[in-house]
């Protein structure tokens, strides 16, 4: 292993939607902790919102879809050694509190503590060359990457987990019609996972190449809401009823109202992309109450599904390479953030590679 430098490069959020690549001290680890050299980290929409809307005070180093190589292990660490290829989750619950006993892990006070940092207030740290992984994450939140699996593929384990948790919660069945609104990276993961249940899938997006990928990932219908009256088409496909389940995997004004209009009475509607406290949802009370619809949310990963999500990625069962459109060095992260905020026809999942220089 090469020597660990005293300073490293990191993309530091400085407030006012500004991210700058700077030199910062390489994190020091303590007992029970490990240091990971970051090889790949995906740009996630939740981090984009924190940056674009200045939701958290600076300075912070974001990035939580992290894969890399262990370069140092603190006293008492026996599970991992320098040279191990790993993917790390930045949230892990206590498994003992009120919420954990009800498997509402994302509401656990310990879960809300970020356990990976590259410096400053812990915020994931994957947009840096090295990250410090704290002891409770080392204990239950790190998975080894098998040989032959790329770091880029491995970085998708965490987002797959979040979607797998949501699919388990909304429970699509083989005889159901499922509408997935939005076919960005997360929406496409939903399409892949929902298709495994045997349900019939319809997908919507306004970017034509994404609709083509949705078809390859298992959607029987792929619709552009600008050119198709989606609610009418869904009713036509379901004997006039509407979708049994709607997964809202995009965030836009009025999208929840659209989801309701596409659903049948008694349907389930999952909100997945509405993660900012600044977002507001308006809906007809009667469509929920009189229509007996269930409107619910799902957020973040489940420790119970950690190994299953890793297996789905490592085995190659999910065609996640379809999602990766850009691999960028850390110095170009600003262009990656801008591209993710304003996607074009060829942009999907953007992976930052902090060890690359060009």
Q: Tens digit of pLDDT for each residue in 104-119?
A: 999 999 999 999 999 9
Q: Which pTM was predicted?
A: 0.96
- Distances 178 to 93, 181, 257 between C-alpha atoms, Å: 31, 10, 16
Domains of the chain in sequence order: 7-155+319-353 (3.90.180.10), 163-297 (3.40.50.720)
Q: Tens digit of pLDDT for each residue in 172-191?
A: 999 999 999 999 999 999 99
Q: Tens digit of pLDDT for each residue in 68-110?
A: 999 999 999 999 999 999 999 999 999 999 999 999 999 999 9
């Amino acid at each position: 292993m090469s020597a660990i430098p005293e300073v490293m490069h990191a993309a530091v959020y400085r407030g006012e939607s500004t991210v700058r690549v700077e030199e910062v001290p390489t994190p020091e680890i303590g007992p029970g902790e490990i240091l990971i050299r970051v090889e790949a980290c995906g740009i996630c929409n939740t981090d984009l919102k924190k940056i674009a809307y200045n939701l958290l005070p600076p300075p912070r180093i974001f990035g939580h879809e992290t894969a890399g190589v262990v370069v140092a292990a603190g006293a008492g660490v026996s599970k991992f050694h320098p040279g191990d290829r790993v993917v790390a989750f930045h949230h892990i619950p206590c498994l003992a509190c009120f919420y954990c006993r009800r498997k509402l892990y994302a509401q656990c006070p310990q879960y809300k503590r970020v356990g990976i940092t590259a410096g400053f207030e812990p915020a994931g740290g994957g947009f840096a060359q090295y990250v410090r992984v704290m002891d409770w994450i080392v204990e239950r939140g790190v998975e080894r990457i098998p040989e032959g699996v790329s770091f880029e593929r491995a970085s998708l384990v965490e987002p797959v987990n979040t979607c797998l948790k949501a699919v388990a919660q909304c429970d699509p069945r083989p005889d159901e019609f499922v509408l997935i609104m939005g076919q960005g990276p997360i929406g496409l993961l939903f399409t892949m996972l929902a298709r495994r249940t045997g349900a019939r899938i319809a997908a919507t997006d306004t970017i034509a190449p994404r609709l083509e990928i949705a078809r390859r990932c298992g959607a029987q219908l792929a619709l552009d809401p600008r050119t198709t009256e989606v609610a009418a088409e869904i009713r036509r496909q379901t004997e006039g009823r509407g979708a049994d389940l709607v997964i809202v995997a995009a965030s836009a004004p009025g999208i929840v109202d659209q989801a309701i209009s596409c659903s049948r009475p008694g349907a389930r509607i999952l909100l997945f992309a509405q993660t900012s406290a600044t977002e507001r949802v308006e809906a007809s009370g009667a469509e929920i109450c009189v229509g007996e619809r269930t409107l619910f949310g799902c957020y973040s990963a489940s420790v119970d599904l950690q190994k299953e999500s890793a297996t789905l990625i490592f085995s190659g069962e999910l065609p996640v390479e379809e999602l990766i459109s850009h691999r960028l060095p850390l110095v170009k992260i600003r262009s990656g953030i801008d591209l993710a905020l304003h996607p074009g026809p060829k942009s999907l999942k953007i992976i930052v590679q902090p060890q690359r220089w060009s």
